[in-house]
């Protein structure tokens, strides 16, 4: 639907691989294995800059100098270069998936889709079966009954995971293949599963355990959205060890998380400067120092599970960049207390992958406005949510799929935002 046929894709990547192999061999003085890291082959920083110059001369501005190191082998760099080269003329749809985090859930989320889309129903049933041994609660039943317990963390996290997995798989079944994925907070578990770094079974267990461990932390934590820069936020929390920066969503869209009394002290300081804050309705202080007691228990669970590198470019909101490393236990334990560096990761994805479309995958639109601003409004990619909100149904899903085929409905469905 959105990329050239697999055989054509393979031929295109092979051509880039042969060209890159010749240029690398020129600089290091011997033939290269396309699966061996370039550093091990002997490529140094001077040769890497020369290689970047060759790419600029041959293909134009498709990559940045750091991409030579971000894709460490000739094969990986060639595939990335081929993918960017395909999209230069703007005629092919290149879709990135961005998975929404906790806070987007609501009673009855995706009920209309479940009742009227056989594809979505099958994938949600599949995810429901994967989480049910750990939650002892059916996600499908939770959704169809509009149960308010969807806001309890122990159920929120596995329910969101199941919904996002099912939405993404429904798009994939329709022929929409992501060129990159990114997840906000708990949305990283669905992103990692779709990218092939976690199996459905392992991700279902991890996200269910994570939610249960967090549910039974002592109360008293809160989260607060503030309109300050990351530097200003760092100054605010420096004097409050029980508060941390939990999310950086945009240049001046920060979420602070931690002890409620400490948050009120920060609020008072901001009020003196005429800066208003918004307290979020949450059960716990996620991505804050108050999450630390969860880490040892979660780490013990993770030790028994394998992890692997993503097969699709994976933009980490822990690192704020493309993650080429395998997503092993240390990554998911750091994920619990680390800030969600959404702005950094999203900007890197937009710059490096040059998507024509970005789809927010979750039960309602939360991140789409940020993505549109980062993408440059009309000059950037089409940004659209797969679910607008509680009333989204199979008709809305069909419209999104039509838009992702870059057909005549695309501009209308996206509001002309490119």
Beta strands 178-183 and 314-316: pairing type? Answer: parallel
> Is the separation of the CB atoms in 317 and 224 below 8 Å?
no
Helix axes 153-173, 200-215, angle to 10 degrees: 160
Complete edge-to-edge strand list for the sheet that includes strand 382-385: 321-322, 314-316, 178-183, 95-99, 357-361, 382-385
> Is the separation of the CB atoms in 67 and 349 below 8 Å?
no
pLDDT at 91 (0 to 100): 52
pLDDT at 304 (0 to 100): 78
Task: Return the structure tokens found at 273.
Answer: 């400067």
Split the chain (418 residues) into runs of 10 and give each run's mean pLDDT: 44 72 85 83 82 78 77 82 59 87 91 92 97 94 92 93 96 92 96 95 94 86 91 91 92 92 93 89 85 90 83 95 90 92 94 91 91 78 86 83 59 39
Instruction: Decide: helix, strand or coil at residue 329.
Output: helix
pTM: 0.76
pLDDT at 329 (0 to 100): 87
pLDDT at 371 (0 to 100): 92
Task: Return the structure tokens found at 313.
Answer: 């470019």
Task: Return the structure tokens found at 285.
Answer: 């202080």
DSSP 74-107: HHHHHHHHHHHHHGGGS-S--EEEEE--TT---T
């Amino acid at each position: 639907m959105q990329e050239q046929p697999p055989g054509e894709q393979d031929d295109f990547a092979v051509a880039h691989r042969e060209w890159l192999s010749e240029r690398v061999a020129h600089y290091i003085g011997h033939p290269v294995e396309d699966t061996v890291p370039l550093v091990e082959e002997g490529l140094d920083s001077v040769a890497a800059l020369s290689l970047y110059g060759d790419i600029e001369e041959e293909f134009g501005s498709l990559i940045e100098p750091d991409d030579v190191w971000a894709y460490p082998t000739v094969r990986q760099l060639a595939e990335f270069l081929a993918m960017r080269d395909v999209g230069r003329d703007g005629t092919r749809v290149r879709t990135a998936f961005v998975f929404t985090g906790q806070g987007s859930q609501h009673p009855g989320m995706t009920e209309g889709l479940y009742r009227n889309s056989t594809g979505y129903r099958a994938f949600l049933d599949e995810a429901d079966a994967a989480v049910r041994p750990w939650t002892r609660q059916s996600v499908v039943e939770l959704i169809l009954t509009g149960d308010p317990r969807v806001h309890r963390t122990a159920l929120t996290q596995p329910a969101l995971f199941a919904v996002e997995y099912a939405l993404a798989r429904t798009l994939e079944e329709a022929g929409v293949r992501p060129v990159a994925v990114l997840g906000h907070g708990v949305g990283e578990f669905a992103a990692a599963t779709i990218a092939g770094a976690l199996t459905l079974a392992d991700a279902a267990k991890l996200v269910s355990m994570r939610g249960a461990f967090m549910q039974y932390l002592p109360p008293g934590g809160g989260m607060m959205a503030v309109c300050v820069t990351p530097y200003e936020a760092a100054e605010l929390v420096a004097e409050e060890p029980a508060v941390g920066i939990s999310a950086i969503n945009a240049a001046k869209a920060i979420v602070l998380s931690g002890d409620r009394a400490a948050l009120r002290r920060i609020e008072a300081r901001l009020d003196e400067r005429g800066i208003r804050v918004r307290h979020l309705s949450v059960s716990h202080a996620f991505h804050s120092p108050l999450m630390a007691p969860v880490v040892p228990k979660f780490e013990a669970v993770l030790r028994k599970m394998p992890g692997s590198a993503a097969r699709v470019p994976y933009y980490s909101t822990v690192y704020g960049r493309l993650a080429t490393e395998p997503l092993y236990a240390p990554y998911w334990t750091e994920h619990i207390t680390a800030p969600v560096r959404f702005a950094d990761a999203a900007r890197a994805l937009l710059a490096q992958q040059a998507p024509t479309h970005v789809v927010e995958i979750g039960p309602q639109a939360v991140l789409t406005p940020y993505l549109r601003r980062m993408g440059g409004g009309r000059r950037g990619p089409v940004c659209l949510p797969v679910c607008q909100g509680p009333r989204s149904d199979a008709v809305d899903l069909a419209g999104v799929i039509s838009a992702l085929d870059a057909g005549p409905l695309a501009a209308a469905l996206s509001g002309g935002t490119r």
